[in-house]
Amino acid sequence: MRVKLQALGCRLNEAELQTWARQLQQQGHQITRESAAADLVVINTCAVTAEAVRKSRKLLHRVRRANPQARLVVSGCFASLDGEALAREQGIDLVIPNRDKDRLTAIATRELGLDAAVGSTPQPTTDPLFLRGRQRAFVKVQDGCRYRCTFCIVNLARGPERSRPIVEILAEIRRLSAEGVREIVLTGVHLGGYGSDIRGNLAALIRAVLADTDVLRVRLGSLEPWDLPETFWDLFKDRRLMPHLHLPLQSGSDTVLRRMARRCGSGDFARLIGTARERVADFNVTTDIIVGFPGETPAEWRQTLTFVETLGFGHLHIFPYSPRAGTRAAVLPGQVDDRTKKDRSRQIHALGRRMKADTLARHLGRRLPVLVEGRYGGAVADEWFGYTPNYLPVRIRSDEQQDPTNRILGVTLTEVDTDKERLIGY
């Protein structure tokens, strides 16, 4: 069978998609990029915000319209929270909640009779990542979260924390590296909680990856700032651990952070970033900001703007607050109106663009190793794109005779492009 796989939302969803793709290949199925050509479509949905739910529904409808004959399997957080309603919708053949997604291929094979379509010869072992047009591999190391931030629905959708054994993770990374993957990203729902259920910790996992695999680049997925001990920065002495972290702040106001039940105040966060920049060369930090959290006053919003500008993030992920049924924040007083959220979103987006432009400009004149991920969209034949070690996007002008995709090139950074979103180099 020809199988199309698609994910919305977090990197963990991407990691799971990659695992399913490999399992399906081993059964003899083909992975395709085209929905219209697929016999089976598997979608890993998201429900972190109301907008994510809307996008998940829109994707399902689009897939059904584009290829009504294809069988459709739906999993992920949206499927876990609204599985019964999804199961009743026309055109969805199978809904698999998060608690069963590690067995998705086995369940789909049994329930949909996929074995009948499997040939006798497994598909080539080229990593599904490449077949789907991706060059960076996401490696799932844990699932679930023990914390209860008042705005978050993911802990309900994903359940308690569960960590994979280190030996299993190392085996996956070695296989990916042997197949040509240059960069892996360790990811999980609560990545910093890795090992809490198996008497381990994230630092021990990272040390094992660096010591016992030869993958060229190691990145970390989103990390909560309270999970990083003082000794954590020593890990970056190995230059294969990339000098970039995504540390969710959510708000620069301590009173808002308390209503969110966050475990890190603004002062602690600022000290953490200061230490990171002092200890790790070229360290780049990106973050999440929630706009219009219940009860957010104009004064609290100004505190966030001031704090964010003071720290100077390399990039902001900005989310207007949306109530999620089943969370404590959904019933808090002082829900902020949509007009105010839109106005504050415009302010923080403008600030984010200025900070990103400043970060990019500080790197002009540098020559840095860039992992080429593919052809630059809409560009002439000799332009490509990739990322620096500290995760700055680069548009690469190259006269390479061969396709440089998935190679690490030394690139001299000469300018910032006109939309201030990426560097240009050669």
Give the pLDDT of residue 378: 60
Q: Which pLDDT tens digit goes with each residue over 1-10?
A: 999 999 999 9
Indicate the pTM of the whole model.
0.91
Q: Which pLDDT tens digit goes with each residue over 37-83?
A: 899 999 999 999 989 999 999 999 999 999 999 999 999 999 999 88
Q: Which pLDDT tens digit goes with each residue over 13-39?
A: 999 999 999 999 999 999 998 888 899
Q: Is 296 left (phi over 0), alpha (psi -120 to 50) or beta?
A: beta
User: Does the CA dihedral 116-117-122-127 come out positive or negative?
Assistant: negative
Give the pLDDT of residue 172: 97
Q: Which pLDDT tens digit goes with each residue over 128-177?
A: 554 445 678 999 999 999 999 999 999 899 999 999 999 999 999 999 99
Tell me what percent of the residues of the chain surpass a pLDDT of 70. 94
- CATH number for the segment(s) 2-117: 3.40.50.12160
Give the pLDDT of residue 277: 98
In this structure, which amino acid lies at residue 32? T
On the 0-12 / 13-18 / 19+ scale of CB atoms within 10 A, 391 is: middle
Specify the pairing of strand 40-45 against strand 2-7. parallel
Query: In degrees rounded to 5, what are phi and psi of residue 204?
Result: -65, -40
Q: Which pLDDT tens digit goes with each residue over 236-263?
A: 999 999 999 999 999 999 999 999 999 9
Q: Minimal CA–CA distance to 191: which of 155, 143, 239? A: 143
Give the pLDDT of residue 207: 98
For the chain, which residues make up each domain, given as ranges? 2-117, 135-242, 245-362, 367-425
Strands of 40-45's sheet in order across: 30-31, 2-7, 40-45, 71-76, 94-95
Q: Which pLDDT tens digit goes with each residue over 268-298?
A: 999 999 999 999 999 999 999 999 999 999 9
- The highest-level CATH class for domain 367-425 is mainly beta
Give the pLDDT of residue 35: 84
Count of C-beta atoms within a 10 Å radius of residue 141: 27
Q: Which pLDDT tens digit goes with each residue over 327-378?
A: 999 999 999 999 999 999 999 999 999 999 999 999 999 999 999 999 998 6
**CATH architecture assigned to 245-362:** 2-Layer Sandwich (3.30)
Q: What is the torsion angle, in degrees rounded to the nearest 10, for the CA atoms of residue 363, residue 310, residue 313 and residue 289?
A: -160
Which option is the CATH number for 135-242: 3.40.50.620, 3.30.750.210, 3.10.20.30, 3.40.1190.20? 3.30.750.210
Confidence of residue 399 (pLDDT cuts 50, 70, 90): confident
Give CA angle at 373 (281, 367), nearest 5°: 40
Cα–Cα distance measured from residue 67 to residue 337, given in angstroms and rounded to the nearest whole number: 39
- Do 2-117 and 367-425 agree at the fold level? no
Q: Which pLDDT tens digit goes with each residue over 167-219?
A: 999 999 999 999 999 999 999 999 999 999 999 999 999 999 999 999 999 99
Beta bridge partners of 374: 385
Q: Which pLDDT tens digit goes with each residue over 77-131?
A: 999 998 888 888 878 999 999 999 999 999 999 999 986 554 545 555 455 554 4
